[in-house]
Amino acid sequence: MAEKAKLEVSKTTGISADRLSVANKATLANTEITRFKLIDTQGNIYGISLDAAGNQISQEVLDQAVQAINNKGFVGKLEAELANRIGQGSNSPIRVVFYLKGKTVKPYRGSNRTEYQNYFSTLKSHYEAIQQPLVKQLKESNQRVIYQSLYTPMVVAEVTPLLIQTIAARSDVERIYLERRRIPRQNVSRVVVQANTVNTRGLTGVAETVAVVETGRIGTHPNLPALQRTLCRPTASTFNDAHKTQVAGVIQSTAASVRGIAPDITIVDGIMANDSDAESMAAIECVINSASATNISYGFETNGSFDSLSRYMDEIIYNTGATIVIAATNVCANKMGSPEIAFNVIAVGSFGDNNTTTFADDIAACTGVVTASSYLNPDSPNGDREEPDVVAPGHQITMPTNGGGFVTTNGNSYAAPHVTAGAGLLRARKTELFNRPAEVRAIMMASARHNIEGDSRLSDRDGDLEASC
């Protein structure tokens, strides 16, 4: 097939086939189309797509195939699950997420903090204007608008099925998703990720801030200093959540024997009243302007498909420059879920460090005693996504828990905060990274230092290797 690709490019360009080489090839997901990237001896690049018989595919046919892939899981503009719910015949209101069309704002990636704050105001006004016509229709129809995203073209509302179908015909509506509820994803490790080395160099998190977004509040514990915590949306909940407290402990614990990755860092507690998409958006948008990295240790099993929250993550990160670290699903048999499937996040899996600081006895995900942490790659048009991005210790992690004392447990929920804290320390070392998530992600992946299994650059069960501070 590669030789056929060379011959077809030779026909259209006049370049001899022996002067062409295949730089890359990929099969378009769920099709018999193979896309080739070729390069000639002068460094010029050519693209061509062939079917299973080796015939060249036109750009029009290719575009149609890509669009069909993008439409997977949708009935028109409606997410398939939402369409099925509407088809049941009830006219009871349904909580949905509208994704609207509209021009984007060029993201600010400069280093001036005043300009950055002004950019947020511009961003807010821009998306408010995009949302206004839909919000007006919803309110005039006596529908409940639950949340308008400040920095993305998304609106969460409770709407009757009949009106949902009417709104789907609007030219400014791109997609309508069913709103979902998320679930949590359940001290040698700080040495394994080299936090002890970084801390001894003076980088302990002083004057730096990261956020933890989850339902409820971070609880009380002698080794989670209250003076190193600020509350975002304090009226949303007064409940102290054990899972959230443990996540915070991985980041910030000051206990001598169970020390966090960045014990002097300040945590912004992003408080959600419940585990809905609307509450996720509200809490994230409350913290991102002040946190150098945000931790998300919850999600939904989509088995390799995008939904409203994963779409939101890509938008909010691109628009605001936020760094968001997300725990991958714990289900070994599933592909990446939501929101960790998003392109712009740092998706974190886990491994077992066997409670030692050496590499020789590390245990890869979904092998031996480490029975959690998905490593199956999500669907993509070119079959070229390798997830998770990095892994961190997530087996038998000891952490402070709400009200005092410590607990030892497993899960990607506790791998992710290792990376979140590491991103905070990176920001302390290189302050201009405060709004450059792609650079943070690249550095975290490039500095990962141990290959547990598979290819030394990218492999299934440990992504781009073990994260390092």
What's the pLDDT at 354?
84
pLDDT of residue 31: 86
Instruction: Name 282's Cβ contacts closer than 8 Å, sequence gap at least 6.
Output: 147, 233, 236, 272
Between CA 293 and CA 345 the distance in angstroms is 11
Which residue from 147, 157, 148 is spatially nearest to 126, judged by alpha carbons?
148
Distance CA 83, CA 310 (A): 19
Here the tokens at position 114 are 């005043």
**What residue segments make up the domains of the chain, in order of their start?**
2-70, 74-178, 183-446
Residues 106 and 319: beta-carbon distance below 8 Å = no
Strand-by-strand arrangement of the 390-393 sheet: 229-232, 266-272, 209-215, 294-296, 324-327, 346-351, 390-393
Sign of CA dihedral 184, 188, 191, 196: positive
- Nearest CA to 195 among 468, 385, 387, 447? 468
Q: In CATH, which of 1.20.1440.130, 3.40.50.200, 3.40.640.10, 3.30.930.10 is domain 183-446? A: 3.40.50.200
Which residues in the chain come in under a pLDDT of 70? 185-195, 207, 381-383, 453-469
Q: What is the pLDDT of residue 99?
A: 98
Tens-digit pLDDT profile for residues 257-312 = 999 999 999 999 999 999 999 999 999 999 999 999 999 999 999 998 999 999 99
pLDDT, position 392: 92
Provide the CATH topology of domain 74-178: Alpha-Beta Plaits (3.30.70)
Predicted confidence at residue 18, as pLDDT, reads 92
Instruction: State the helix-helix crossing angle for 308-320 and 277-287, rounded to 10 degrees.
Output: 10
**What's the pTM?**
0.87
**Which token pair is 241?**
């959540």
Distance CA 427, CA 305 (A): 31
Q: Can you give the pLDDT at residue 466?
A: 47
Could you give the 3-state DSSP secondary structure of residue 99? Answer: strand
Residue from 398, 396, 415, 414 nearest 406 by CA? 398
The first and second tokens of residue 434, run together, are: 């405060």
